[in-house]
């Protein structure tokens, strides 16, 4: 036993042996101290010049940082010292895949000859042979990998993909896959045909048998994301990220799940960890969208511009740009029309419409019509709050409803709505063209797109013309759809006044009242007394998404608070639940003249608590240029008037429509100065404001905004009008 403070020369010498030094270097590498680790590895290489191990470790360290050139040189040095070590051959061969698949095959074949029992080698060789278009040889190599590792789903998936690609019915000595792999393959097949509940059951069972298989985790997460269950996808993707540290695709998918859970700050942090050099165009577009959702409009624009320069996918570039354009302070109807038209023209389509030719007897003005609803948002969603009541009020003797989109049986709204439709078809597993062809077989007379280009939207289906009359309504309805085969857009005289037709590629179906029918939430709190009467100060508020809180909005509100020194501003959105996002917003607000001492910022809440926030607000302030839609309806229902600045494109006039439809047009301004003056005037007359608050809910309920029967009749007449025009054109062409 050694005495304290005493050294042993033998032990000291042992600690300086190459193998001991290399062990220390590996520990440093595992701790993330890569530069120190490599310096120690190089020292070992100098001490043992014939030993290949330090060079292999140096190569792995450089590869971990994405430094391909340095890693290649290190692996070559390792092979120079030991040309028959399969680990070095495998690593060097994998690096060669991107630049020279032929060289990769040579290296990997050598590795397979040296270590025929190593399944990783056969899998890499199979991939390399695929790049050289040697399908039979690739399938044979992948089958060998599967026989050596029958519990690896990735090998089974890759083998099946190669066999499908090259039309191979069988391979010699196929692998005997484990039960877990078989379950996962069945789950994948169920997912591909749209049987998502079955797919989830199978993949959940597979995950129990293969708890560390990344492919199983990601496949199950994809099913959950596709069925709007991001809370179920998150833990699976976190585990996948742990098993694949630094994998860009996994981190991107986890970021998507975080964003759908309204944890935008966490999502952005994940995207930032990937690093700009590793972000392909799709991921740059994703990060651009995240940054816009966080109010970082300049960062968003940089990402979108960088992605546009890096991609050859015109449709992807245009769609990502169009999705964010309405949120920009400089957005206007003309620029949106031009951008959306370019996107519409970029959508694929067949030379001839997919809709089936119909006998002239079907071109009947007055027969009952089959109306298709194209959307994945026929559930608890703003689309449902603004359309379901009107759709359910359609005359069933004149119209039958047919839904095309995902059906969520556990949803609050969907099962009730399903009782009012004749058929509900899940088309999630179909490509856009397949879905269009299927819709064509259903003899739909009028197809209504209720999704647009938003998350999960299927607007490209409309480009194939599966129905004779095609209409855009609600659902990411910021401006024109731009799709040449979209015939009509449902609007009203406030959303699109006379003279605005030039901003739309569709013809406008102007409803006699508003363009939506609002369903108030049954659990909403009662309207409170005017807060200013007890607070001693006026409280403005806005409960719109952070993406709508542009610099133009914040500057306008700063001017307003300057006019009313005792007033306060309450803002609420899900993003404010994240401290880092909140801190960044406060900095931006103060830089634009909004002192944080006069702000009350709140984060996410249940719908009931969210709406109850209006009990603390005297006057709501609409953001600019992207106006509130459902939030404006909710504010009015809670007795809170909304001051809005009317723009010239659809999403800039939502509040104009709702306010006018309810009969409080005095809240609509046409210039920033008028916006401030109207807000100041309303804030200066508390008795009038209190009286308006007391009667506003009843006024909303009695207005056309909530009159489902009236709206259903108007909607039916509008659909009939569009059908009559189609019949007139068809009969004229046949004459």
- The pLDDT tens digits of the residues spanning 716-726 come to 999 999 999 99
Domains by residue range for the chain, with CATH:
25-186 (1.25.40.10), 246-346 (1.25.40.10), 360-511 (3.40.50.11380), 532-706 (3.40.50.2000)
pTM of model > 0.85: no
Whether residue 147 has pLDDT greater than 90: yes
Reduced 3-state DSSP string for 652-689:
HCHHHHHHHHHCCHHHEECCHHHHHHHHHHHHCCHHHH
pLDDT at 448: 98
Q: Looking at per-residue confidence, does 337 or 260 come out higher? A: 337
Average pLDDT, the chain: 92
DSSP string, 85-105: -HHHHHHHHHHHTTT-HHHHH
What are the angstrom distances between the C-alpha of 226 and each of 457, 475, 488?
12, 18, 29
| Structural contact between residues 650 and 496, judged by C-beta atoms closer than 8 angstroms | yes
pLDDT at 361: 64
pLDDT at 11: 45
What are the angstrom distances between the C-alpha of 724 and each of 358, 363, 366, 429, 729?
16, 9, 8, 34, 9
Q: Which residues of 443-480 are buried (b: 16+ CB within 10 A; e: fewer)?
A: ebbbbbbbbbbbeebbbbbbbbbbbbbbbbbbbbbbbb
Whether residue 456 has pLDDT greater than 80: no
Q: Looking at per-residue confidence, does 286 or 508 come out higher? A: 508
The CB-based long-range contact list for 268-274 (8 Å cut-off, 24+ gap) reads 268/294, 269/580, 274/248
pLDDT classification of 227: cutoffs 50, 70, 90: confident
pLDDT digits (tens, 9 = 90+) for 193-215: 878 889 999 999 999 999 999 99
Q: How large a percentage of the chain has pLDDT more than 90?
A: 76
DSSP structural state of residue 361: G
| Structural contact between residues 449 and 432, judged by C-beta atoms closer than 8 angstroms | no
pLDDT classification of 13: cutoffs 50, 70, 90: very low
Whether residue 357 has pLDDT greater than 90: no
| Structural contact between residues 383 and 375, judged by C-beta atoms closer than 8 angstroms | yes
Whether residue 727 has pLDDT greater than 90: yes
pLDDT digits (tens, 9 = 90+) for 653-696: 999 999 999 999 899 999 999 999 999 999 999 999 999 999 99
pLDDT at 316: 87
pLDDT at 8: 57
Average pLDDT, integer, range 24-53: 92
Q: How far apart are the C-alpha atoms of 23 and 25, rounded to whole Å?
A: 5
| Structural contact between residues 416 and 439, judged by C-beta atoms closer than 8 angstroms | no
Average pLDDT, integer, range 373-381: 91
pLDDT at 9: 52
């Amino acid at each position: 036993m050694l005495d304290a403070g005493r050294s042993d020369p033998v032990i000291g010498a042992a600690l300086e042996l190459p193998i001991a030094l290399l062990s220390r270097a590996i520990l440093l590498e595992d701790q993330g101290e890569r530069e120190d680790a490599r310096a120690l590895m190089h020292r070992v290489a100098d001490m043992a010049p014939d030993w290949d191990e330090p060079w292999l470790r140096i190569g792995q360290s450089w590869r971990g940082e994405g430094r391909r050139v340095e890693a290649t040189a290190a692996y070559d040095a390792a092979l120079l010292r030991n040309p028959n070590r399969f680990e070095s051959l495998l690593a060097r061969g994998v690096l060669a895949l991107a630049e020279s698949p032929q060289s990769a095959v040579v290296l990997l074949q050598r590795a397979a000859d040296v270590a025929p029992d190593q399944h990783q080698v056969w899998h890499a060789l199979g991939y390399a042979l695929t790049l050289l278009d040697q399908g039979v040889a690739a399938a044979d190599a992948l089958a060998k990998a599967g026989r050596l590792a029958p519990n690896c789903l990735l090998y089974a998936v890759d083998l099946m993909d190669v066999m499908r690609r090259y039309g191979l019915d069988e391979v010699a000595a196929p692998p005997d896959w484990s039960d877990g792999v078989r379950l996962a393959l069945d789950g994948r097949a169920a997912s591909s045909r749209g049987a998502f509940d079955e797919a989830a059951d199978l993949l959940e069972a597979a995950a129990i048998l293969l708890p560390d298989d990344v492919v199983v985790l990601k496949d199950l997460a994809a099913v959950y994301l596709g069925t709007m269950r991001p809370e179920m996808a998150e833990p699976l993707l976190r585990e996948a990220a742990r098993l694949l540290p630094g994998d860009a695709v996994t981190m991107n998918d986890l970021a998507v799940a975080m964003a759908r859970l309204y944890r935008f700050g966490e999502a952005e942090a994940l995207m930032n960890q990937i690093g700009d050099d590793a972000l392909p165009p799709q991921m740059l577009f994703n990060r651009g969208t995240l940054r816009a959702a966080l109010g970082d409009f300049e960062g968003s624009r940089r990402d979108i511009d960088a992605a546009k320069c890096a991609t050859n996918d015109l449709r992807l570039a245009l769609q990502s740009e169009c999705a964010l354009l309405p949120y920009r302070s400089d957005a206007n109807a003309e620029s949106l029309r031009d951008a959306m038209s370019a996107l519409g023209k970029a959508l694929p389509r067949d030379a001839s419409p997919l809709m089936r030719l119909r006998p002239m007897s079907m071109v009947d003005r007055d027969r009952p019509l089959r109306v298709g609803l194209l959307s994945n948002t026929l559930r608890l969603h703003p689309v449902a709050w603004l359309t379901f009541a009107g759709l359910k009020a359609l005359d069933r003797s004149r119209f039958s409803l047919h839904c095309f989109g995902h059906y969520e049986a556990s949803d609050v709204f969907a099962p009730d709505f399903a009782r009012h439709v004749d058929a509900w078809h899940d088309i999630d597993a179909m490509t856009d063209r397949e879905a269009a062809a299927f819709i064509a077989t259903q003899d739909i007379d009028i197809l209504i797109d209720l999704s647009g280009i938003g998350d999960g939207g299927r607007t490209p289906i409309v480009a194939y013309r599966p129905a004779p009359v095609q209409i855009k309504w609600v659902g990411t309805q910021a401006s024109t759809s731009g799709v040449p085969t979209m015939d009509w857009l449902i609007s009203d005289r406030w959303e699109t006044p006379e003279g605005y037709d030039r901003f739309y590629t569709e013809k406008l179906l102007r409803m006699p009242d508003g363009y939506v029918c609002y369903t108030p939430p049954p659990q909403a709190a009662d309207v409170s007394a005017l807060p200013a009467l007890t607070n001693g100060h006026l409280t403005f508020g806005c409960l719109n998404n952070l993406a709508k809180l542009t610099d133009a909005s914040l500057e306008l509100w700063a001017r307003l608070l300057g006019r009313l020194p005792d007033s306060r501003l309450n803002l609420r959105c899900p993003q404010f639940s994240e401290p880092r996002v909140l801190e960044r917003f406060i900095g931006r607000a103060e830089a634009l003249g909004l002192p944080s001492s006069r702000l009350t910022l709140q984060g996410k809440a249940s719908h009931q608590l969210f709406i109850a926030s209006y009990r603390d607000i005297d006057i709501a302030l609409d953001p600019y240029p992207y106006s509130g839609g459902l939030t404006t309806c909710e504010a009015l229902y809670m007795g809170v008037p909304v001051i809005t600045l009317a723009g010239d494109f659809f999403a800039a006039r939502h509040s104009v429509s709702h306010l006018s439809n309810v009969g409080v047009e005095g809240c609509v301004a046409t210039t920033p100065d008028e916006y401030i003056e109207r807000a100041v005037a309303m804030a200066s007359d508390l008795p009038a404001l209190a009286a308006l608050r007391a009667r506003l809910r009843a006024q909303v309920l009695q207005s056309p905004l909530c009159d489902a029967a009236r709206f259903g009749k108007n909607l039916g007449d509008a659909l009939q009008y569009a059908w009559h025009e189609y019949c007139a054109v068809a009969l004229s062409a046949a004459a």
